[in-house]
Amino acid sequence: MKITAMRNAVTRYVHDGDTVAIEGFTAFIGFAAAHEIIRQGRQNLTLCRMTPDLIYDQMIAAGCARKLIFSYLGNPGVGSLHCIRRAIEKNIPRPLEIEEYSHFGMVGRYTAGAARLPFFPLKSYLGVDINRANPRIQFVTSPYSDENIAVVPPLNPDVAVIHAQRADANGNTQLWGLLGVQKEAAFAAEHVIVVVEEIVDEAVIRSDPNRTVIPHVVVDAVVHQPFGAHPSYVQGYYDRDNKFYQEWDKISRDAGQTQAWLDEWVFGVDDWTGYLQKLETREPEIRTRLAPGQALSRPVNYGLYGREGA
């Protein structure tokens, strides 16, 4: 039984100076965890994410990070991440060290981390400046041909936060939709906090084992936090709150407005329940606005073997 309150999970598994990966590619972004990390005043984190998105824009504006490891710096479909740009271009609120890859490079880093390999080879970084800007990207010669191939080092975060649709109380976690690098990040990390929309019975998990992306053995804590990925989305549960992504573009352009937003929406509430209450006070119909229609998958027959029949 690993069900934990978010506050306790963060207190226990996220420490100052840690390397932290809160992944989720456009979907499943763990904002509830990020806000709790900000509220608890964590410092000097090395933040890893393929796409830092609004979540790291907020954490970096709040001064949680000393370093960012990433592959695409943008507000998806909207524009720039202004807080991260301020940190990189103007050292506001503090200098931010960056370690930059391409998407494939980040995927490779997590993959090597998950498999405890010394490096991951990929056909990339040919004829470009990315590897000049980041000396951790190296080239080796294949032992089987004379091909020169790029390698990236493993990434093993101290803690990964994985948002998903559902898990059982023991941490067996099922995801569908954009899988991103959720599995690799979980297997690569020293500790894993899983945050889910629903806690389900173990029998639900066992009825569809192909959908179990993360098994209990790599999970330390399970946090039940419905709507915990807002303003990003969870496939089949709620849509992206694009209005907020556009609103953030305006708020984040100004350091003062950004701080005021953090004061109100992160420091001004006790927890994610408080955030959701504020959200629903501001827009009572928000859940209806973001509710998707239904598109059910057809059930499959896994077969029953060894009891009756076969």
Partner 1 sequence: MADYTPSEMMIVCSARALAGERVVFVGVGLPNIACNLARRTVAPDLELVYESGVFGARPARLPLSIGDPTLVSGATSVCPMSDLFMNYLQGGRIEVAFLGAAQIDRFGNLNTTVIGDYRRPKVRLPGSGGACEIAIHAQKVFIITRLKKRAFVERLEFITSAGHLTGRPNQRKSLGMPGSGPQRVVTDKAVFRFDADSGEMFLSSIHPGVTVAQVQAEVSWPLKIAADLQTTPPPSPEELRLIRAELDPTGMYTT
Q: Which residues bind partner 1 (CB under 8 A)?
A: 25-27, 50-51, 70-74, 76-77, 80, 84-85, 88-89, 100-104, 107, 111, 122-130, 133, 147-149, 176-184, 233, 235, 239-240, 242, 292, 295
Q: Using an 8 Å Cβ cutoff, are 271 and 222 in contact? A: no
Query: How far apart, in whole angstroms, are the C-alpha atoms of residue 162 and residue 239?
Result: 18
Contacts of 91 (CB under 8 A, 6+ apart): none
In the complex, least distance from residue 281 CB atom to partner 1, rounded to whole angstroms? 26
Q: Using an 8 Å Cβ cutoff, are 168 and 205 in contact? A: yes
In the complex, least distance from residue 43 CB atom to partner 1, rounded to whole angstroms? 23
In the complex, least distance from residue 165 CB atom to partner 1, rounded to whole angstroms? 12
User: With respect to partner 1, which residue has the nearer C-beta, 39 or 240?
Assistant: 240
In the complex, least distance from residue 127 CB atom to partner 1, rounded to whole angstroms? 4
CB atoms within 10 A of CB 80: 14
What does residue 274 show for φ and ψ, rounded to 5 degrees? -65, -40
User: With respect to partner 1, which residue has the nearer C-beta, 3 or 98?
Assistant: 98
In the complex, least distance from residue 83 CB atom to partner 1, rounded to whole angstroms? 12
Query: How far apart, in whole angstroms, are the C-alpha atoms of residue 280 and residue 154?
Result: 42
User: With respect to partner 1, which residue has the nearer C-beta, 28 or 272?
Assistant: 28
User: With respect to partner 1, which residue has the nearer C-beta, 13 or 233?
Assistant: 233
Closest to 122 (Cα-Cα) out of 71, 162, 159, 73: 71
User: With respect to partner 1, which residue has the nearer C-beta, 239 or 283?
Assistant: 239
Q: Put the strands of the sheet holding 120-122 in their side by side order.
A: 120-122, 148-152, 138-141
User: With respect to partner 1, which residue has the nearer C-beta, 233 or 248?
Assistant: 233
In the complex, least distance from residue 295 CB atom to partner 1, rounded to whole angstroms? 5
Query: How far apart, in whole angstroms, are the C-alpha atoms of residue 290 and residue 283?
Result: 11
Query: How far apart, in whole angstroms, are the C-alpha atoms of residue 235 and residue 175?
Result: 9
Contacts of 201 (CB under 8 A, 6+ apart): 168
User: With respect to partner 1, which residue has the nearer C-beta, 4 or 232?
Assistant: 232
Closest to 57 (Cα-Cα) out of 290, 274, 231: 231
User: With respect to partner 1, which residue has the nearer C-beta, 10 or 29?
Assistant: 29
In the complex, least distance from residue 95 CB atom to partner 1, rounded to whole angstroms? 11
Alpha helices per DSSP H over the chain: 6-13, 31-39, 53-61, 82-90, 103-114, 130-133, 182-188, 202-206, 242-251, 255-262, 272-282, 286-290
In the complex, least distance from residue 248 CB atom to partner 1, rounded to whole angstroms? 14
